[in-house]
Amino acid sequence: MQKIKNLACLLMFSLVLFSCGEYQKVLNKGTTEEQYKMAVKLYESNKFSKALRLFEKITPTYRGKPQMERIQFMVAQSNFNEKNYSMSGYYFDRFAKNYPKSSKLEEAAFLSAYSYKLASPRFSLDPKETNKALDAFQGFINTYPDSDKIEEANLHYKELRYKLQKKYFEIAKTYYRTAEYDLRNYKAAIQAFDNLLADYLGSEFKEEALYYRLKAAHDFVLKSYDRRKLERIKDAIDAYDKLKRNYPESQFMEDSNKMLATLQNEQVRIDALIAKQVEVQNSKKK
């Protein structure tokens, strides 16, 4: 029994060596046709990394020939299966553009978008791939509204959109949190919250963004010189009105009402101060 096991292991090892030797021989010295046939064979055997090396070698020769359509799709799929998602997104997109009449056009369009989504990093990092995925899914949804993949595409699109919203919401909150040390960040926070609310209508972060928008404007008033306060008080009260109009039962309303009272008291104080200054100036003119 042990001899049989040893013989089987030896046979398997020999097959592996022969397979590797045959691959290296075809890769380095094989004809283009031999390389093409082996690349397809490796692809169909799920040996995508080796297949890609051969596809890379034969692509210049087959460019413009009928086989190129199949090669491009296999290159894209191989990169996808090897988890080279940025590359597979690029190659599926290129396939869709190069072969608009292909029977695999819809599949390639979906896989391009999905690849970019898989390449998309967590929300706090560069959103380049996330934006690519959003654009690609939007294109797929518009082009294939009756696709059996449309429900999945819409779900992916929603997830990506949420990721970007979260990114910009957290950026705005960071401006607010650091404004205590750099007063310019109050303006940056206010602008960032305004941009988020304008760019993502119906955002999942809308209520909280409106609240923090109010907080930033409120705190900015309290940190400002008196001569700059009236305009900023108006802006802060407008922010309060917008929150209350959209979310009259907001979880933040109690704190928001306190901020409104502070703003109104400050407005009364500033109005009285201005009135007194006007009175003094008028008395000097007499």
148 — pLDDT class (breaks 50, 70, 90): very high
Q: What is the pLDDT of residue 223?
A: 94
11 — pLDDT class (breaks 50, 70, 90): very low
Mean pLDDT of the chain: 89
Does the pLDDT of residue 139 top 60, yes or no? yes
* Average pLDDT of the residues in 161-178: 94
Using alpha carbons, select from 96, 99, 77 the residue that is nearest to residue 88: 77
Residue at 150 is within a domain = no
Residue where a domain stops, chosen among 57, 92, 115: 115
If one counts every other C-beta atom within 10 angstroms of the C-beta of residue 151, the result is 9
Same structural domain, 187 and 274? yes
* Average pLDDT of the residues in 264-270: 93
Residue at 129 is within a domain = no
CATH number at residue 66: 1.25.40.10
Does the pLDDT of residue 7 top 50, yes or no? no
Least confident of 58-62, 176-180, 245-249: 58-62
Condensed to tens digits (0 to 9), the pLDDT of residues 32-67 reads 888 899 999 999 999 999 999 999 999 999 888 989
Residue where a domain stops, chosen among 90, 115, 140: 115
Does the pLDDT of residue 23 top 50, yes or no? yes
Percent of the chain with pLDDT over 90: 74
Q: What is the pLDDT of residue 189?
A: 97
Residue at 145 is within a domain = no
Residue at 146 is within a domain = no
Condensed to tens digits (0 to 9), the pLDDT of residues 87-113 reads 999 999 999 999 999 999 999 999 999
Q: What is the pLDDT of residue 124?
A: 55
Q: Which domain holds residue 232?
A: 183-281
Q: What is the pLDDT of residue 42?
A: 94
Count Cα atoms within 13 angstroms, Cβ side, for 16: 6
Note whether 164 and 134 are within 8 A (CB).
Answer: yes
Q: What is the pLDDT of residue 9?
A: 45
Using alpha carbons, select from 194, 236, 240, 207 the residue that is nearest to residue 219: 236
Residue at 123 is within a domain = no
Note whether 185 and 175 are within 8 A (CB).
Answer: yes
Condensed to tens digits (0 to 9), the pLDDT of residues 183-235 reads 999 999 999 999 999 999 889 999 999 999 999 999 999 999 998 999 999 99
Residue where a domain stops, chosen among 95, 115, 135: 115
Residue at 54 is within a domain = yes
* Average pLDDT of the residues in 63-81: 95
Residue at 102 is within a domain = yes
What does the DSSP assignment read for 34-51?
Answer: HHHHHHHHHHHTT-HHHH
123 — pLDDT class (breaks 50, 70, 90): low
271 — pLDDT class (breaks 50, 70, 90): confident
Q: What is the total count of domains within the chain?
A: 2
Residue at 51 is within a domain = yes
285 — pLDDT class (breaks 50, 70, 90): low
Q: How do the residues of the chain divide into helix, strand and coil, expressed in percent and rounded to 5?
A: 80, 0, 20
Q: What is the pLDDT of residue 5?
A: 53
Residue predicted with more confidence, 8 or 273: 273
